[in-house]
Chain A
């Protein structure tokens, strides 16, 4: 079946540092790809998405580019803030018809210190 692999955390950064969280996937075809964020004590929220190869998703200063040649969707941010501390999940959409499920990676915890 389809799967998503994320880098293990935690990722610990100082405020204003550059962030990269790696995500690669294994799937048939070219599935839609997502990043979800989970703040402490809350449910997951959609951060950004890309629905086809070479698309770039962006939101709140975060970006990720769908690279089909490397089957990757790495999350980046140029300057992180303490408020970005959260768990980040990479996910893909499985299937093309009916109820299309999300397959999640294991999550990467980001800790940003002042």
Chain B
């Protein structure tokens, strides 16, 4: 029972490079989100999805793209990485839209942009 799997765990990019952070879940959760975690800032919502084919912006969407072609996968794309995107990225899923039931988080991807 894998839960939420994020890959890679660590990544170093040069400014201007592109990459995709992967998030896969095997719990059949409809709702998936991407957060970034920065020192002194807590977790901030980047994008979220309420089901396959449906995505929306969160608090800090600029510089990131998402798509949701299947229930299981919710990749996060950086088209042209910037040092300001150095952060730890977490994917979270939930069975219900009501976050009172709790999210399941992946173990994170630590991204450094130089």
By a beta-carbon cutoff of 8 Å, the part of chain A in contact with chain B is 4, 32, 34, 41-46, 49, 51, 89, 93, 98-102, 104-107
Residue ID in chain B nearest A107 by CB atoms: B42
| Complex partner residue of B99 from A41, A42, A43, A102, CB under 8 angstroms | A102
Q: How many residue-residue contacts, CB under 8 A, span A and B?
A: 59
Point out the residues of chain A lying under 8 angstroms from B105, CB to CB.
43-45
CA distance A107 to B35 in the complex (A): 14
Question: Is the CB–CB distance between A89 and B42 below 8 Å?
Answer: yes
Question: Is the CB–CB distance between B42 and A99 below 8 Å?
Answer: no
Chain B interface extent, by class: 20 to 34
Point out the residues of chain B lying under 8 angstroms from A45, CB to CB.
105
Is B90 at the interface (CB under 8 A from chain A)? yes
Is B103 at the interface (CB under 8 A from chain A)? yes
Is B40 at the interface (CB under 8 A from chain A)? yes
Is B50 at the interface (CB under 8 A from chain A)? yes
B33-59 at interface with A (beta carbon < 8 Å): 33, 35, 40-45, 48, 50, 56, 58
Tell whether A98 pairs with B97 under 8 Å between CB atoms, given A42-B107, A43-B107, A44-B105: yes
Point out the residues of chain A lying under 8 angstroms from B103, CB to CB.
44, 46, 102
B11-68 at interface with A (beta carbon < 8 Å): 31, 33, 35, 40-45, 48, 50, 56, 58
Residue ID in chain B nearest A102 by CB atoms: B99
Is B76 at the interface (CB under 8 A from chain A)? no
Least Cβ–Cβ distance between A66 and chain B, in angstroms? 12
Point out the residues of chain A lying under 8 angstroms from B58, CB to CB.
101
Question: Is the CB–CB distance between B100 and A51 below 8 Å?
Answer: yes
Nearest first, the 8 A-B pairs at minimum CB distance are A43-B105, A46-B102, A104-B42, A104-B43, A32-B100, A106-B42, A44-B105, A100-B99
